[in-house]
Structure 1
Amino acid sequence: MARGGFIFGSLFAVFGAVFWQLMLRDLLYVTLGVGRVIQSVDEFPYKCRKITDKRLSGCEDLWLDDQQSILYAACASTEGRLAWNEAVMKLNVSARRKGGTEVLALSIDKSLPDGSFSYRALQLDNFLSPTGDSSVDILGFDVEIIDKHTVHFYLTNQRPPVDAQGKHIDATKLGANATIEVFEHRRGAKSMKHLRTVWDPETMYTPNNVAAVGNGAFVVTNDHSKSFGLRKSFDNYIGGGGVTYCSPTSTCFPITPPRTFRMPNGLARGADGLIYVPSTITGTISVFSLASSAESASIPPAFTLVDTIHVGMPLDNLALDASGDLWIPGFPNGAQVMKWTEDPVGNKSPATVWRIKKVEGVYELEKVLEDREAAVLNGITTVRHDAKTGRLFMGAVFNEFVVCDPIA
């Protein structure tokens, strides 16, 4: 009896130690941020301002064209994101923003008297959604530079599900019917032309963001293991989500096991050609090499983990600047994030901005900005750094667009 009790006690102690090491410790200190000291925005050498323009709210992702000084933003308004965003289980199709997401092109060389910028919405040529209009519901996106005149946009399109007649149906039972839409844009033009739709619900079931890897191929994160159901609700605790590769001919393969990550988010291709995949839950960035090409159209390229960057707080979208540095926003107060996700109008979420510089093969992590009170940096999900001026442009999935100018 005593022997049995000893064995049971030993197993319980081992289980408790493993549970603490793998789940509880990270939940408390990384995800929730228990005991974390969060700094005030006034402690950093930047002057920040919100842009109070409804069309420049709900801008989940951004891309900066350094050559043209044009910032592209995928904006759906606060109300639109509150209604429709599968990544955080907002699936009210009827309240979704009419027309979906706008792709806005901001001229950032000169600000207007109110601190904002002039912009135009890009028209989507040669494109029809399943409902017969030209609306898209963009979560994340990436851009591939083709030549000095041409770029290709890769848009993560969270399409609402429809029936055979093109009528919206209950998304809470099916999730989004997501695709990657590829468009060609001539720099300076007022529109972009649709090239192809990539749809593969077996390998792209909850696409969060996309990274172009050259010649029309791309990789995409699935931020959950399923698009709906009970299993999805446990992903943050037991793991869920992975990376899919799609070839230039739109053939897609999962290149990580389906539960490799805990909510993988906005991945990016670095200046070194490596793929960087952040986790919203674990506060790490997994670094992968991607083989240049597959031996056969039916075989995916090798995707090999080569490093891990430990940031130590929940993370969102990575972005590469013209100097080759990576920028990423973090959420230093995980408990507040949960409240903010439920009610981003009534609550705020502090944000941190990190820069990751690779020096002789070693990753250097620098905290560039932080806003304990979320007075300006509220729920930031994307940071774009203008290497020429030092300015930071920040989008937020639910909240206002933010610009920070360096103080000399």
Structure 2
Amino acid sequence: MFNSRKPKRVGSCVSQNLFYVYCINSYKTARGNLHNVSKRTSEDHVSVLKIDEPGEDGLYGLHQLEITGGYKGVDNHKSIDVHGFDIEFLPDSRLRFWMINHRPPVDESGNFLDATNLGANSTVEVFDLVPGSRNLEFVKTVANPIIKTPNNIAATRDGGFVITNDHSTKTGLIRSLSMIIGGGNIAMCGSDNQCHGGPSNRFPNGIVRGQDGLYYVASTIKGKISVYSLESNHTFTQIDEIDLHMPLDNLSVDANGDILAAGLPDVLKVFKSLDDPTVSVPATAFRIRKFDTENGGWRYVVTKILEDIEAKVLSVTTSVVHDLKTGRLFFGSIIAPFVVVCEKA
């Protein structure tokens, strides 16, 4: 494992043997701090690791990407309040980053408003990265009321994206009860920046677009992955459901097309750890593999590939990524100040 300089929340994507992680200072992970503007540090960023080259220091060539171009944060700087993101390969070899940004609300003069009453002014930011560059070049901002409480995002590969809204409301009692009663939905926005609401779900969390073109959505409450097709009229059709019998967080897709899911065996301890990072929380990783059947259908096989039920090494694992070439597993955590790298035995 390797340590970062400050406690951070980590999410991830893999592209071209590079591992991209978004890093958030840990104050945001404490309950009630997401909307606490006074504790906002403006230090969120995306970092890069060369997953096939650990290096002598074991830091995998870790370096940070800089935002360039016409992007402006709420404070007229290039600060970003990043959450989930996805990466799309463009025909000219550039990488397009689709990134959720939980901007604090401001008035017309740029003064911060009370986010505890209004919630975040969440948007989707689009950046391009030229291979070998360290600059994220700003492309555009997508703002729409349907982008309400975005948790994660998957590019549609035709200029649009699909998001999970993990709550039904930005603030209030209903939001606070979401982990009990559920809430939230999935939605899509097209290349014209027009957005369309989709089916409700019970705390939809991670989302990926599989190599089969279907969208896989993890539910933290149901412990299931819902499988959707996105129709040409901007609607979703649920075509399958995969039961993992455990609350789920983020999903990822490896080069083989397998889906990796981060499981949360003890949700109560997860909540405790949000207030006290010293609380050890069990972690589980699943692999979901799709097989064609003789009758022209398909079936999914779920395998528990790793579990640290005593939280000796892993704790509150919210993301897991598989490097097919080396067999390494990379684990990101909502609380821990490091990424854990597990070598293939």
TM range (shorter): over 0.9
Residue 194, structure 1, aligned to residue 138, structure 2: yes
Residue 147, structure 1, aligned to residue 91, structure 2: yes
What SS does the corresponding residue of 1:147 show, helix, strand or coil?
coil
Provide the C-alpha distance between the structure 2 equivalents of 1:247 and 1:311, rounded to a whole number of angstroms: 31
Shift of 1:110: 1.8
- Tell me which moved more, 383-392 or 226-235: 226-235
Residue 329, structure 1, aligned to residue 273, structure 2: no
Provide the C-alpha distance between the structure 2 equivalents of 1:160 and 1:234, rounded to a whole number of angstroms: 22
Q: Which residue of 2 aligns with 1:389?
A: 326
What SS does the corresponding residue of 1:76 show, helix, strand or coil?
strand
Residue 166, structure 1, aligned to residue 110, structure 2: yes
Residue 357, structure 1, aligned to residue 289, structure 2: yes
Give the aligned residue type for 2:312: A
Check whether the contact 1:77–1:398 (CA below 8 A) recurs between aligned residues. Answer: no
Shift of 1:91: 2.2
Shift of 1:212: 0.3
Check whether the contact 2:49–2:59 (CA below 8 A) recurs between aligned residues. Answer: no
Residue 286, structure 1, aligned to residue 226, structure 2: yes
Shift of 1:235: 2.4
Higher relative contact order (CA 8 A, sep 6+): 1
Give the aligned residue type for 2:268: A
Provide the C-alpha distance between the structure 1 equivalents of 2:8 and 2:238, rounded to a whole number of angstroms: 33
Q: Which residue of 2 aligns with 1:58?
A: 8
Q: Which residue of 2 aligns with 1:9?
A: none
Q: Which residue of 1 aligns with 2:335?
A: 398
Q: TM-score, normalised by structure 2?
A: 0.94
Provide the C-alpha distance between the structure 2 equivalents of 1:108 and 1:184, rounded to a whole number of angstroms: 21
| 1:230-275 superposed Cα distances (whole Å, 9 cap, x missing partner) | 121232333310011100011001022xxx2221001111111111
Q: Which residue of 1 aligns with 2:101?
A: 157
Q: Which residue of 2 aligns with 1:318?
A: 251
Task: Report the structure, 1 or 2, having the larger helix content.
Answer: 1
| Counterpart selection for 1:242 from 168, 173, 185 | 185
| Counterpart selection for 2:311 from 370, 374, 377 | 374
The 3 A distance-change label for structure 1 pair 369 and 148 is: farther
| Counterpart selection for 2:29 from 82, 85, 90 | 82
Give the aligned residue type for 1:272: D
Q: Which residue of 2 aligns with 1:102?
A: 45
Structure with larger Rg = 1
Give the aligned residue type for 1:52: N
What SS does the corresponding residue of 1:116 show, helix, strand or coil?
coil
Provide the C-alpha distance between the structure 2 equivalents of 1:376 and 1:313, rounded to a whole number of angstroms: 20
Shift of 1:130: 2.0
Q: Which residue of 1 aligns with 2:295?
A: none
What SS does the corresponding residue of 2:179 show, helix, strand or coil?
helix
**Count of residues in Structure 1 that have an aligned counterpart in Structure 2:** 338
Provide the C-alpha distance between the structure 1 equivalents of 2:60 and 2:179, rounded to a whole number of angstroms: 38
Give the aligned residue type for 1:253: H
Shift of 1:223: 0.2
What SS does the corresponding residue of 2:285 show, helix, strand or coil?
strand
| Counterpart selection for 1:135 from 79, 91, 111 | 79
Runs of 4+ in 1 over 3 A off after TM superposition: none
Provide the C-alpha distance between the structure 1 equivalents of 2:227 and 2:53, rounded to a whole number of angstroms: 37
Provide the C-alpha distance between the structure 2 equivalents of 1:342 and 1:135, rounded to a whole number of angstroms: 26
Shift of 1:169: 2.2
Check whether the contact 2:29–2:334 (CA below 8 A) recurs between aligned residues. Answer: no
Correspondences of 1:1-16 after superposition (within 5 Å):
none
Provide the C-alpha distance between the structure 1 equivalents of 2:247 and 2:5, rounded to a whole number of angstroms: 27
| 1:151-204 superposed Cα distances (whole Å, 9 cap, x missing partner) | 100001011112222222221111111000011111111101111111112x11
Shift of 1:89: 5.9
Seq. identity, %: 40
| 1:308-359 superposed Cα distances (whole Å, 9 cap, x missing partner) | 100011100110110000001101112212211222x221211100000001
Provide the C-alpha distance between the structure 2 equivalents of 1:89 and 1:234, rounded to a whole number of angstroms: 17
Provide the C-alpha distance between the structure 2 equivalents of 1:114 and 1:372, rounded to a whole number of angstroms: 29
Provide the C-alpha distance between the structure 1 equivalents of 2:121 and 2:39, rounded to a whole number of angstroms: 17
Two-structure CA RMSD over aligned residues (Å): 1.6
Shift of 1:148: 5.9
Task: Report the structure, 1 or 2, having the larger strand content.
Answer: 2
- Structure 1: stretches of 5+ with no match in the other structure: 1-49, 295-300
| 1:40-89 superposed Cα distances (whole Å, 9 cap, x missing partner) | xxxxxxxxxx312225x424311111x3x21111002324x336x8xx76
What SS does the corresponding residue of 1:158 show, helix, strand or coil?
strand
